[in-house]
Amino acid sequence: MKKAIFAGIAALLISTPLTAATAFTDAKDAVKYRQAAFQLIRHNMADINEMIKGEVTYDAARVQKRADALVLVTTLPWEAFQVAGTEQGGGDAKADIWKNLDDFLERGEKLAADAGTLQAAAQTGDKNELRKAFGNFARNCKACHDNYKE
- Give binding residues for heme c as ranges: 141, 144-145
Binding-site residues, please?
141, 144-145
Is 28 an interacting residue with respect to ligand HEC (CB under 6 A)? no
Angle, helices 27-53 vs 127-148, to 10°: value is 140
Is 140 an interacting residue with respect to ligand HEC (CB under 6 A)? yes
Which residues have CB under 8 Å from 149's CB, separation 6+? Answer: 92, 93, 94
Q: Which one among 92, 99, 126, 135 touches ligand HEC, defined by CB under 6 A?
A: 92
Give Cα separations from 66 to 25, 72, 119, 139 (angstroms).
Answer: 30, 10, 9, 18
For residue 98, the minimal CB distance to ligand HEC (Å) is 11
Give Cα separations from 43 to 49, 100, 112, 133 (angstroms).
Answer: 10, 28, 16, 17
What part of residues 105-134 is at the interface with ligand HEC (CB under 6 A)? 107-108, 111
For residue 116, the minimal CB distance to ligand HEC (Å) is 13
Per the CB < 8 A criterion, the answer to whether 62 and 77 are in contact is: no
Is 66 an interacting residue with respect to ligand HEC (CB under 6 A)? no
Alpha carbon distance 109, 136 (integer Å): 14
Question: What is residue 37's three-state secondary structure?
Answer: helix
Nearer to ligand HEC, 16 or 92 (CB): 92
User: Binders of ligand HEC: how many residues, by CB under 6 A?
Assistant: 21
Q: Which one among 104, 112, 118, 134 touches ligand HEC, defined by CB under 6 A?
A: 104
**Contact footprint for ligand HEC (CB under 6 A):** 31, 34-35, 38-39, 41-42, 45, 91-93, 104, 107-108, 111, 140-141, 144-145, 148-149
